[in-house]
A and B are shown apart, each in its own frame.
Chain A
Amino acid sequence: MTTTTNSTRLICTVCPKGCRLRVTEHGGELRVSGHGCPRGETYGKIEVANPTRVLTSTVCLFGGLHPRCPVKTQQPIPKYLTRVAARALDGICLSAPVEQGQIVLENICDTGVAVVATRTMNPVWEPETREARIDDAAKSAGAV
């Protein structure tokens, strides 16, 4: 994205086409050109006024095939919160089974947006004392 006095050039990411957009300000209103569809026009305006992103990352997982479970924010969150939100995930430790779509964190960084698991992770073994093991795993993952 490059911004000059009152216009911004950016690449639309709504579909793989990647139209080159130009967003200019005219008397308090944003106008978009270069879009190939109406969704791109909307994207251009939002991207300049209040950019948002879906955050995708992983969280600690215990008892599954892998020690990490991939997650995402259910909706895009303000772009400037992305790194802070990534840190907010550090403290989460899940225990298999986890269902795809299951909420792992409500209202990340006060955005009202939930974080959900993006794959189902089945348990590969049954621990004796789950609570104790979860605490251990959380400590070794650096979370408190």
Chain B
Amino acid sequence: MYDLIVIGGGPAGLAAAWAAYESGLRRILILERDRELGGILNQCIHNGFGLHYFHEELTGPEYAQRFVEMLRKTSVEVLLDTMVLEVTPRRQVHLLNKTGGYQVLEARSIVLAMGCRERTRGAVGIPGTRPAGVFTAGTAQRYINMEGLMVGKKVVILGSGDIGLIMARRIILEGGAVLACIELMPYSGGLSRNIAQCLEDYAVPLYLSHTIVEIRGQRRVEQVVVAKVDENRNPIPGTEFVLDCDTVLLSVGLIPENELTRQAGIQMDRRTGGAEVYENMETSLPGVFACGNAVHVHDLVDFVTAESDRAGRAAAHFVLDGANSPAADAYALAAGDGVTYTVPQRIRRDTDERAVDVFFRVNRVCGQSRVRVLSGGETIAQYKREYLAPGEMERIALPKKILDTVGEPTLTVCIEEVEAQ
């Protein structure tokens, strides 16, 4: 019987395993489906990682290697090339790999760190023919950065989220041309840093409020038809123009990977696509914790590490000190005006934390604003922000002392814009 089984050996799983070990657990096993640890960081060869956590600017592989090296000095076990097929409510893990075949392992606690997957062409329904040359941006990133294959020569990118922006730069640096980045919304979904260093530095045209309405080509992509969209994001007839290209990269959203979570009967949050969690990252199933992109899609790996550190420590606490108080003794966090979602969705009243980190995303671009936390209509805490955007996850720390003064069962996080952007 393991103390802890961590499902996923990317940044979330690595940080959780490390934190659990540091907190005293010894029989820890990481299950990873790829041939190596590191997860998505292995293909993120650009820098900008670790600014918060290590106070250094690292590339993805360097960030991953830090944790891998820390773990090598511990008793944490790792099974690579291993697929988890099922997690049962009794904390049994069904897995499959070439060396051991089908195995069922038991654990006193589990951390779900499966990450996320990319939205595909089928999911967004782009009309047209189905030629070769349409890739999701992350797939293209893996092909170029790890497999050494160039995806195409004349590329159009749909979606201005971080992956699309990063790949625009990558393709240009490998000798390809990026004709345009097409973004459905009137603002970009990526970090300001990436707009500056990927689009502006390389003069890639960014078409906001536009979308691809058709992909043309016989065996290979030959053209895309782009049109402007209205306030309801519907294409405006007559605004179409054609771009000659041979490749389309889709950067149209990430979806937390939660087949295992749902199968185990764990309570999900439809707004995040991940499990509902308490402030210690525990799910509705006692002893099962979740962290990283499987809970909600992150922009910064530093936040993933902080969240996963909490999950790992909580798993250790669960195993060493026994179960937490039941659901009834928790506040529910509600997303108020301007807020799309919060993580966690619940905060236990008797939490040990001196301050609870609440992550959230706004549903529109805001200038100078106040983030307010309300209870029974009263503001119990507020925070100033210069600029808020849906593409940039925010964090506030709610002091326990303030939480203790609250009698109502629901807390609401909302945004009040002071000065429009």
Contacts and interface: CB of A to CB of B under 8 A. Distances in A.
- Is A bound to B? yes
A51 B318 CA distance: 51
Contacts, number: 90
Nearest to A70: B45
Q: How large is the interface on A (under 10, 10 to 19, 20 to 34, 35 or more residues)?
A: 20 to 34
Interface stretch (B190-198, B241-249, B400-408): B190-198
A18 B61 contact: no
Interface residues on chain B, size class: 35 or more
A100 B193 CA distance: 26
Interface string A17-32: 0111000000000000
Contact of A56 (B45, B64, B172): B45
Given A13-B196, A13-B197, A72-B47, A120 B173 contact: no
A18 B192 contact: yes
A57 B173 contact: yes
A139 interface: no
A1 B112 CA distance: 41
A79 to B, nearest CB: 7
Contact of B61 (A1, A11, A70, A82): A70
A15 B173 contact: no
B47 A54 contact: yes
A83 B191 contact: no
B147 A16 contact: no
Given A11-B193, A100-B65, A68 B146 contact: yes
A56 B386 contact: no
Contacts of B62: 100, 118-119
Given A19-B386, A67-B148, A83 B47 contact: no
27 contacts: A1-B200, A13-B197, A16-B48, A16-B51, A16-B392, A18-B192, A18-B193, A18-B387, A54-B57, A56-B46, A56-B59, A57-B174, A58-B144, A58-B148, A65-B35, A65-B36, A67-B147, A67-B148, A68-B148, A70-B145, A72-B47, A72-B59, A83-B173, A86-B174, A119-B42, A120-B65, A141-B148
Interface of A: 1, 10-11, 13-16, 18-20, 36, 53-58, 60, 65-68, 70, 72, 79, 82-83, 86-87, 100, 118-120, 141
